[in-house]
Structure 1
């Protein structure tokens, strides 16, 4: 489902969200993410950066405002339709990884393709390609418990990119990686975005990660603001 002509990959309009107890995280938030664009979001701890990604990915619901993915308003979709959109069009790198322990590394990475009912051979070939891309070539038959935290992070990234999503949402994707591996992973994100005309929103505390993005935005209670580095 490509974007309608002129539609951004992601549009946030008047988005507001509070936490239990009534504290407002942010209000009136606006954002457009265009095809081929890589955006970094920074901000203080607790300001709602992970919550913002969950709203965009349809895992949480805003108090007010709208999230559109490729011109489709999430509020107008049923739960099943939101699940299908997330499965087919969004790649999510969770801070907690969410790697399935009973599956091999290749099976974990291939999972988005399996859920799309792609041929098994295609899914496995893509999984092996992504393992090589994140520096874990030859580990296809290993299990998650054999990996370090940084290696699990790389598997999560490989899985998020395996089905070539239109929208990539990444929550601190380089947080557990050494500088050299982080640089390679950021190049992988950028390559996928440019090659496929996708869009990426990366939440990070890392200045190095933010430097790889086209735009750096700071999330505050007032919304998303372009960061002034001058």
Structure 2
């Protein structure tokens, strides 16, 4: 039989289904493909399963049916150790709550993904410093989270997600804790940084402004994903 995943995409799913509790179906028959350099926003009502879907894409949760592939590699076919290694090397995360470790400097926070995949501490520090400069925080590497605003913390989170040049970026309400003006600047930074690295990004969000930076907007329903028209947001 011809492989249904012929074209190499950064992220591919086919026929995903997920039920929680005894019989509450979140979604079924969910299929999508995200190409390198593409940003896809996933919207939907609260409780429909957006964050659950993100966890399934990351290999942190398992679907009840269907398949997820990252750069052609099927997550379901991996034992825990290689799945963890793939997640560390090929996926970056941006969270609503930042998750910057308060007892580490900003440089150490950004270098964490590199520390997990390489023993070269000096190279990790250099790359972390360069990445902090790219997100507009040069010479801040020795600061701690307590010294930063929410927008600055999210810049650090973006730097940490991108520093190891992952193929896939997964973002869960990345501007949910920011004021509108700061959110706009962070979204522009995020989109430019992702595209410049030819990464594939999936953003789950309630925000129309956040979805507006995407190349495609998909609405998650119990029956899968429905493509939505792109909406321009006035600055």
Given the two structures, how large is their TM-score scaled by the length of structure 1?
0.90
What residue is the counterpart of 2:92 in the other structure?
91
Q: Counterpart in 1 of 2:189?
A: 188
Aligned equivalents of 1:83, 1:209: Cα separation in 2: 29
Equivalent residue, structure 2, for 1:211: 212
Alpha-carbon distance, 1:229 to partner: 6.3
Per the TM alignment, residue 214 of structure 1 is displaced from its structure 2 partner at its CA by 0.4
Contact 2:151 2:186 in 1 (8 A): no
In the TM superposition, structure 1's runs of 4+ consecutive aligned residues that sit over 6 Å from their partners are none
How far apart, in 2, do the equivalents of 1:45 and 1:139 lie? 37
The 10-residue stretch of structure 1 (190-199 or 60-69) with the greater mean CA deviation from structure 2 = 190-199
- RMSD, aligned CA: 2.1
Equivalents in 2 of 1:142, 1:27: separation in Å? 45
Cα distance, 1:149 vs structure 2: 4.1
Q: Distance in 2 between matches of 1:198 and 1:223?
A: 24
Q: Which whole-Å deviations, capped at 9, do the CAs of 1:27-58 have from their partners, x for residues lacking one?
A: 11000011111111111111111111100000
1:78-133 alpha-carbon deviations (Å, 9 max, x no partner): 10111100110000112333322321111011111111216323222222233233
Give SS of 2:189's match: helix
Q: Tell me the TM-score normalised to structure 2 length.
A: 0.88
- Aligned to 1:173, the other structure's residue is in SS state coil
How far apart are the structure 1 equivalents of 2:153 and 2:130?
Answer: 17
CA shift at 1:164, angstroms? 1.2
Contact 1:149 1:176 in 2 (8 A): yes
- Cα distance in structure 2, aligned partners of 1:152 and 1:46: 27
Corresponding residue for 2:48?
47
Gapped runs of 5+ residues in structure 2?
none
Give the whole-Å Cα distance in 2 for the aligned partners of 1:157 and 1:21: 37
| Structure 1 residue 228: Cα displacement | 4.1
1:62 counterpart residue number? 63
- Which secondary structure does the structure 1 equivalent of 2:66 belong to? strand
Instruction: Provide the secondary structure at the position in 1 that maps to 2:206.
Output: coil
In structure 2, distance between residues paired with 1:150 and 1:190: 15
Question: Take 2:11 and 2:117, find their aligned partners in 1: how far apart are those partners?
Answer: 22
| Aligned length in residues | 227
1:183 alignment partner, SS class: helix
Instruction: Name the SS of the counterpart of 2:170 in structure 1.
Output: strand
State how 1:113-132 maps to structure 2 within 5 Å. 113-117=114-118, 119-132=120-133
- Aligned equivalents of 1:193 and 1:157: distance in 2? 9
C-alpha contact 2:97 2:177 (8 A) present in aligned 1: no
Q: Does 1:13 align with 2:31?
A: no
SS of equivalent to 1:55: helix
- Deviation of 1:185 (Å): 2.4
The residue number in structure 2 matching 1:170 is 171
Which residue of structure 2 lines up, in the alignment, with residue 158 of structure 1? 159
Report the alpha carbon displacement of residue 224 of structure 1 after superposing the two structures with TM.
0.8
